[in-house]
Chain A
Amino acid sequence: MAEDDVHVEQNNARQMGNQESRREFLKQALKVGGVVGIATVIGGPVGAVKALASTETKQNATDGSATNWEGWEDPQLNVNDGWNNWDKILNPDNLPIYHDHFDEIKKVKPKHHWVMVIDLRKCVGCQSCTVACKSENNIPIGYYRTWVDVAEIGSTLQTSLGNTVTANGTYEQQIKIRNIPKLCNHCDNPPCVTVCPVKATFKRADGPVLVDPRLCIGCGTCVNACPYDARYINPISHTADKCTLCVERIDEGLLPACVTTCVGRARIFGDLNDPTSEVSKLLASNPVQVRKPEMGTDPQVFYIGLNGEISTENDPEAENLIYTYTMNTNSTAYQQLAGKSLLK
């Protein structure tokens, strides 16, 4: 293959956003040189030989948006050992599920009432939770189930009383740093659930709001209904996708991935039915707030450390986002700041 041809093929591949072409190219490169492992993001994280084998044995469903799919589907991993058993994942021990009439949940006296407390006095804005969630839950590039808004709020004032003394003047840098983790609030009155036309999404009696992707038609109504931007259409499956509280982990007694790795220990997960749990104690001893209480959604993610100066809501007029990922990645502001190259 002439050098120019290679470039052309590469450019085409990029224009098409088609990872398969790159894989084909890399496969060629491997044949002639064997220098690069083609453990591509589609093929799953395996070595050169395995990845090569995988490209030959199956074609991933790709449609352009799959370019950035960080996935597990791979012959090496995809063995028939009960993986993807949706009945187990979504509804262990046949917990009741609710599509409406959520006030009836209390009547069945569920054993647990899972909640998350976010202690903003401890959030260090490091985004470890953000990445851990993506790794644990297979979230495509450009989409998030949880994220941390890190913003600098304030401005510089020219004042002789300020502590910033320069040759050009004396200033007061009146700033605050605001780190706000965000995720699905697993509301006790979830508007996303009631709007679902096919009852694919539901609230489990012990708290998590979940989606059954076998039922979801990808209409996006729930995405639109969520006041917290916590749902998205998964670009691979074209079904609604969201935080599950790592339901398969908590059902086994583990912590959700984001809590397991929270560097500042700002995320605390637990059972509100257990008065001795850390979340119960925190809620009993601290003023807490929820996001957008006026919506009547009854969020089950509680924030400690909010005050009049710091809100969970973005205010582009007042804040300077330190990291662009703090914005909705589909927003115009994000595209302008980051350029479109990454996302599409």
Chain B
Amino acid sequence: MKNDNKNISRRTFLKGLVLGGSLLGGVWGGLPWLPDMFKQRGKYVYPDRIENWPGVELRYSVCRQCRSDCGLEARVFRDTLLKLDGNPYHPNSTEPQLDYSVDPKTAVMAPIPHSLCARGQAGRQTIYDPYRVLRPLKRVGNRGSNQFKTITWEQLVSETTNGGYLFKDVPGEETRYVEGFKDLWLNGQGRFIPADPAHPDMGPGTNQLVIYWGRAEPGQNNFISRFASAFGTVNALPHVGICELNHHVATEQSLNGKVAMLKPDVNNAEYIIWFGAGIYTANFPMQTLARKVADAAAKGLKFVIVDVSAIPSVAHADKFVTVNPGGDGALAMGMVRWIIENHRYDAQFLGNTTIESANQTNEPNYTNASYLVIVDEKHPHAFKFARPKDVGLQVTSTDEDKPLALDASGKPYVFDQISAGQLWPTGDLNVQPIKINGVSLRTAMQILYQNAVQHSLSEYAQIAGVQEPLIEELANEFTSHGKKSVADFYRGAAMHTNGFYNGRSILTLNMLIGNVDWVGGYMQGGAAADFMGTGKNAPYHLMKWPNQPKKVPNGVKISREGTAYEKTSYYKNALAAGQSPFPAKRPWFPFGFGIWHEIFAGIWDGYPYPAKIVYQHMANPAFSAPPGMSGKQDESLPWFRMIKDLKKVPLFITDDIVVSETGAYADYIIPDSTYLEAWGALPGFPTTPTSVTGIRQPVVEPLMARTSDGRVMCFETYMIDVAKKLGMPGFGNNAFMEGGSLNQREDFYLKLVANVAYDSSDFNRVNALGELIKRGPVPDGSAAELASVQRWMKVAPNAVSPEQWRKVAYVIARGGRFEDYDVAYHGPKPGWLTHRYGAKGNLLQIYNENVGSTHNAVTGELFIGTGQSVPQKTMKGRLMDDIDLSSKFNYHLTTYKLPIHTQSRTMDDPWLRELLPESFIEINDLDAQRMGVTSGDTVRVISANYPQGLTGRVRVLPGVRPGVITFTNSFGHWQYGSGSWIVNGQTVSGDNQRNGGVRLNPLMRLDPDMLDSSGWGTCLEDPVGGGASYFDTKVQVVKI
């Protein structure tokens, strides 16, 4: 039948239908689509440009719709992005992933799943967001007035570099001189002149450039750090403090400072307990964990979800336990107590004192459980491990700094002179100290147990909010699978004021059974390529550049992270003057990093020095964090008060893809790349047992405007141009140790890819004999693979050498560098993983002497060196329960993640929005019954620091723990393509569908101990880790 005939038959039928309309209307009147029939017809455009369509090109890159960095496959036609899928070479997306040697031509049609999650699938709508910022904007009204004008690239670079009366046309700012980069740089001298002459150890004036980022990832953040270091500022700071920081700090302080995350070897584990870990919705990488857990559970893995509300993985869990928010540590320490008292710990493993003795007993690593700790409070080295001199023992100089342990006869030795140390020198489960030359000492194990017995099991159960037998059941099961049990955790357990100790307690469970590095145990995952080229054989050392002075940058970060208060002039001067160094003006965080709320507090207090230029890369603190300091268009909230203060923040520059809630307050907005237009080198996560480095590359021509010399407008181009204007080293001509210039971002990033290609230490393969051997550099790319870098050879022909191009092509044609799937389980002994934490001789820390001997800089109290159950407290140690009484604030406010959103960045995607246009205040069914509310009713939620409260609609879910209310925290954008803003006098009205649902962040508790006289303050935070507390706010819920 010809098309014409078909059309006729349709027309004929339609005609008949219209004629008989009145009759049929009676039958079909209730059908909602009937009216549509008489409307104009659009063309049905069928998308069949599949992977092998002529002209379609597949380009591999790396997703960033969340931080999981899954390899992606972009289907591109005529430089338009058609579709996103997973990269079949990347183990986040594909299992087993294609062997690295597979020809990319074969990969195109591979009939295997290679997935991205819903967020990743929707990424096309992020790059093609109609509200993208594509040219530089400058503020023309008061800060926060949301009024901008477009300016040229030259004006952007010139004004921000040179400073001046930049806002003289803005009422109130006529006479305000704004210092530019030039005024801090001072012809290069700014790097050597202290910001505060009274405290030169705080660093030079160039530290007053404060840079922080939200979404920069490896590659991009290395670029930012390069700019910061060359300029002379230590302030190039990530977002970790508002993310999962306490998890990382707890892990690092259990793993000798070396590793910030472990994950279960899900494929081989028999039993896993997850505390607040967002399995199936978030965590790292969300899709990889979800895939592995679902598959393993179908094959018999038993797993337990511990949380405060039900998450999708409960579908496949053997047990779902709700705990009181923050009660995770109590549950874990109850298990620790049961395990110790029932001798279910691996005593031989814990007794090993060295890696050698561990290996001799077939253990891949060892702990400090038998090391002796000085417990005399007045000893100058109290709560550190006892060194020979501390107890008056004479040893050779090489042994002077080694901790002591006791041999079987009770005689002290430096730890590596004996193979096994005593755990219980004064008798089984006895915590009495021993004395050597009058100094009281306990083993790390004794200290752990001493802390574990501070509560009975029934008290632990009560704190956690569970039945006592549950603790025994979990502990019993956990210790019934040899090395194939894991207790893992994430944000839910960590982002409390007691999060660090919760994490330490959970990590201790793993140490007690010695599961780290075992197949089916706790895993550090594969390695990453040396993309910054710090190793010997790398072609480009990108951490160094010509003419960089030594000891630049130096000093203390404005957030006081990474520095112990005890080592500062503030502390030492006070002691020298005979005064107490406590309380410090604000807390110090030697173990934490990327602590946003303390960056902002440092800016507010000018402590340890005032900020002059604040540069924000791709972040949205006004919307998302820190808790309680922002999250609603309410300029009485602390973050807004800070950013509106022209004296505290004289110049605020941000780069972004849209005018975000935060960008609305910027002095200048630099157009930047979405992740689909950006570069990066992305390591894998411990979830994957093989080595991974994905390469992110622009998959289509970036949409941003071009500079007059044709370069893409983005933050890298901006930093290059500022650096060149100032004459900073490391940019422009002679920018690399190996020669070559840095005039565009590809000059840098392609070298990074070359380093990945030439990495010869971190990637292995299994040979025909089944032996593990190191792969050298990747092979040379074929002619077809070289085609994948043609566009980069055009842009930056000299970025790498001709022979390097061939290897770069091999990597880019596959989207990165990956070990083959079969490398994972080739450890040197049966049951050992290939990539092991213990392979470098590192130990596991039952007791951490650095933590145990560090003070809370505000109270002067010492932290605790082992796991511990502690209640939620303020910075000054007051119990939150004593401050916000349960009689008034009878609900606990928490948040959770959906699998379809990531914090602030995904609400611009209609495909994700339509799935859930609105979010809710979620409450348990019995609580709802008590309050007399049902789904859809509106309630007001009130907290002590936001007494006016916020309202929202309720959804009743029995999976929410009684006494808890929760909401998901991606909703409620009042900017970011929502609301309106003004450019060149024209109002741009956004899409208010981005502003659905509830956003309760302003309710989250500010620390009542850390408010200044004006009421400005920071969120509750963990005094050890520094992470923000999201889950310790008590609220009142009122039906309205």
Binding site for B on A (CB under 8 A): 1, 3, 6-7, 10, 25-26, 28-29, 32-41, 44-48, 60-66, 68-74, 76-79, 81, 83-84, 86, 89, 119, 121-128, 130-132, 134-138, 141-142, 150, 152, 154-156, 158, 162-171, 173-179, 197-198, 212-220, 223-224, 232-239, 248-249, 252-255, 257, 259-266, 320, 322-325, 329-330, 336-339, 341-343
Give 28 pairs: A residue, B residue, CB < 8 Å, sorted on A: A29-B988, A32-B983, A33-B984, A34-B150, A34-B705, A37-B703, A62-B42, A71-B45, A78-B45, A84-B45, A86-B46, A119-B298, A125-B312, A127-B900, A155-B958, A173-B924, A177-B311, A197-B13, A217-B10, A248-B50, A252-B51, A252-B109, A255-B111, A261-B85, A264-B291, A320-B956, A339-B996, A341-B917
Contact of A166 among B40, B297, B465 (CB under 8 A): B465
Question: Are B50 and A178 touching (Cβ within 8 A)?
Answer: no
- Whether B77 is near chain A, meaning CB under 8 Å from some CB there, is yes
The reply on B280 being an interface residue by CB < 8 A is yes
Q: Which residues of A contact B831 (CB under 8 A)?
A: none
- Whether A261 contacts B115 in the complex (CB less than 8 A), given A127-B899, A168-B962, comes out as yes
Say yes or no: is B122 at the interface (Cβ < 8 Å to chain A).
yes
Question: Are B314 and A175 in contact, CB atoms less than 8 angstroms apart?
Answer: yes
Supposing A163-B321, A164-B465 touch, asked if A7 and B987 sit within 8 A by C-beta, the answer is yes
Determine if B998 is an interface residue (Cβ-Cβ < 8 Å). Answer: no
- State how many residues of chain B have any CB contact under 8 Å with chain A: 137
Q: Of the candidates B113, B128, B983, B985, which one forms a contact with A39 in the assembled complex, judged by CB atoms under 8 Å apart?
A: B128
Q: Are A264 and B917 touching (Cβ within 8 A)? A: no
**Do A220 and B47 form a contact, CB below 8 Å, given A262-B115, A325-B916, A338-B917?**
no
B113 close to A126 (CB less than 8 A)? no
- Rounded to whole angstroms, the CA-CA distance of A68 and B991 in the bound complex is 12
Interfacial residues of chain B within 67-126, with CB under 8 A of chain A in the complex: 77-86, 109, 111-118, 120-122, 124-125
B550 in the interface (beta carbon within 8 A): no
A342 lies within 8 A of B113 (CB) = no
Q: Are A122 and B78 in contact (CB under 8 A)?
A: no
Contact B34 A132 (CB under 8 A): no
Does the CB pair A128–B986 fall under 8 Å? no
B9 touches A166 (CB 8 A): no
Residues of B within 8 A of A218 (CB): 33, 36-37
Q: Which of B131, B898, B989 has the most CB of A within 10 A?
A: B989
Contacts of B150 on A, CB cut-off 8 Å?
A: 33-35
Bound-state CA distance A79–B56 (Å) is: 13
Query: Is B914 positioned at the interface, with any CB of A under 8 Å from its CB?
Result: yes
Q: Which of A3, A36, A238, A325 has the most CB of B within 10 A?
A: A36
Most B CB contacts (10 A, CB to CB) among A84, A142, A171, A264 go to: A264
In the complex, what residues of A have CB within 8 A of residue B81's CB? 45
Interface membership of B959, Cβ < 8 A = yes
A265 and B295 contact, Cβ closer than 8 Å, known pairs A238-B37, A324-B916, A339-B996: yes
Closest B residue to A43 by beta carbon equals B130
Q: Are B315 and A66 in contact (CB under 8 A)?
A: no
State which residues 24-45 of B face A: CB under 8 Å: 28, 31-34, 36-37, 39-45
B467 touches A165 (CB 8 A): yes
- B558 close to chain A: CB less than 8 A: no
Specify which chain A residues have a CB less than 8 angstroms from the CB of B286 in the assembled complex: 126
A215 to B2, CA, bound (A): 11
Q: Give the chain B neighbours of A171 by CB distance below 8 A.
A: 926, 962
CB–CB B466/A164 < 8 A: yes
* B911 interface residue (CB < 8 Å to A): yes
Q: Within the complex, which residue of B111, B121, B291, B320 is in contact with A135, where a contact is CB–CB below 8 Å?
A: B121
Say whether B910 contacts A248, CB under 8 Å: no
CB distance from A331 to the nearest CB of B (A): 11
Not counting A68-B910, A74-B80, A216-B10, a sample of 16 additional A-B residue pairs whose C-beta atoms are within 8 angstroms of each other reads A25-B989, A35-B134, A60-B42, A61-B40, A127-B118, A127-B915, A138-B47, A163-B466, A173-B310, A175-B958, A177-B313, A198-B10, A215-B10, A220-B31, A260-B113, A262-B115
- The residue of chain B having its C-beta at the shortest distance from the C-beta of A11 within the complex is B989
A173 in contact with B899 given A71-B45, A265-B294 (CB within 8 Å): no
The 8 Å CB contact of B78, one of A38, A69, A77, A169, is A77
Give the chain A neighbours of B957 by CB distance below 8 A.
152, 320, 322
Complex contacts, B461 vs chain A, CB 8 Å: 165
Partner of B918, one of A178, A238, A338: A338
| Contacting pair A168 B963 (CB below 8 A) | yes
Other-chain contact of A179, B48, B315, B935, B963 (Cβ < 8 Å): B315
Q: Out of B41, B77, B982, which one reaches A237, CB within 8 Å?
A: B41
**Given known A238-B39, A339-B918, contact A220–B50 (CB-CB < 8 A):** no
Contact residue among B80, B114, B137, B982 (Cβ-Cβ distance under 8 Å from A77): B80
B291 touches A173 (CB 8 A): no
Give the docked Cα–Cα distance between A294 and B898 (Å): 36
Q: What's the nearest-Cβ distance from chain B to residue A218, in Å?
A: 5
Q: Which 7 A-B pairs have the closest CB atoms?
A: A237-B44, A61-B42, A45-B128, A177-B315, A33-B984, A236-B42, A248-B48
Number of A-B contacts (CB under 8 A): 405
B294 touches A121 (CB 8 A): yes
A44 to B519, CA, bound (A): 49
CA A134 – CA B988 in complex, angstroms? 28
A257 to chain B, nearest CB (A): 8
**Contacts A36-B130, A123-B294, A238-B37 known; A173 to B983 CB distance under 8 Å?**
no
Please tell me if the beta carbons of B36 and A61 are within 8 angstroms of each other in the complex: no
Residue of A nearest to B112 (CB): A255
Given that A124-B280, A217-B10, A263-B290 are contacting pairs, would A61 and B83 also be in contact in the complex, using a CB cutoff of 8 Å? no
Contact of B290 among A86, A136, A173, A264 (CB under 8 A): A264
Which chain A residues border B79 with CB–CB below 8 Å?
Answer: 76
Q: How far is the CA of A144 from the CA of B32 in the complex (A)?
A: 16
- Cα–Cα distance between A179 and B314 once the two chains are bound (Å): 11
- The distance in angstroms between the C-alpha atoms of A45 and B130, with both chains bound, is 9
- Judging by beta carbons under 8 Å apart, are B963 and A166 in contact? yes
The smallest C-beta distance from A17 to any residue of chain B, in angstroms, reads: 12
Complexed CA–CA distance, A238 and B622 (Å)? 43
Is the beta-carbon distance between B85 and A260 smaller than 8 angstroms? yes
Q: Is the CB of B44 within 8 A of A239?
A: yes
How far apart are the CA atoms of A333 and B707 in the complex, in Å? 51
Residues of A within 8 A of B322 (CB): 163-164, 173
B315 A261 Cβ-Cβ under 8 A:
no
Q: Shortest distance in angstroms between A251's beta carbon and chain B's nearest beta carbon? A: 9
CA distance A130 to B130 in the complex (A): 23
Q: A174-B958, A214-B7 are in contact. Are A135 and B84 (CB under 8 A)?
A: yes
Distance in angstroms from B904 CB to nearest chain A CB is 19
Contact between B47 and A7, CB atoms less than 8 A apart: no
**By the criterion CB–CB under 8 Å, are A325 and B962 in contact?**
no
Determine the distance from Cα of A337 to Cα of B132 in the docked complex, in whole angstroms: 30
- Are A233 and B6 touching (Cβ within 8 A)? no
CA distance A306 to B910 in the complex (A): 32
Q: Which one of B85, B287, B322, B962 has the greatest number of beta carbons of chain A within 10 Å?
A: B962
Chain A, residue nearest B929 (CB):
A156
Please determine whether A259 and B113 come into contact, CB atoms closer than 8 angstroms: yes
Does B3 sit within 8 A of A, measured CB to CB?
Answer: yes
Q: Looking across the interface, which residue of chain A has its beta carbon closest to that of B916?
A: A323
Q: What residue of chain A has the Cβ atom nearest to residue B321's Cβ? A: A163
Shortest CB-to-CB span from B977 to chain A, Å, is 9
Question: CA–CA, A239 to B959, complex, Å?
Answer: 41
B524 → chain A closest CB, angstroms: 24
* Chain A residue at minimal CB-CB distance from B981: A35
| Residue among B6, B81, B956 with most chain A CB within 10 A | B6
Does B3 lie within 8 Å of A214, measured CB to CB?
yes
Query: Which of B3, B117, B467, B914 gathers the greatest number of chain A CB atoms within 10 Å?
Result: B914
A254 with B900: CB separation less than 8 A: no
Q: Does B877 contact A (CB under 8 A)?
A: no
User: What is the chain A residue whose CB lies nearest that of B14?
Assistant: A217
Chain A residue with Cβ nearest B81 = A45
- The closest CB in chain B to the CB of A241 belongs to B44
Q: Report whether B43 and A237 are in contact in the complex, using a CB–CB cutoff of 8 Å.
A: yes
Indicate whether B913 reaches chain A with its CB closer than 8 angstroms.
yes
Q: Are B310 and A175 in contact, with the CB atoms below 8 A?
A: yes
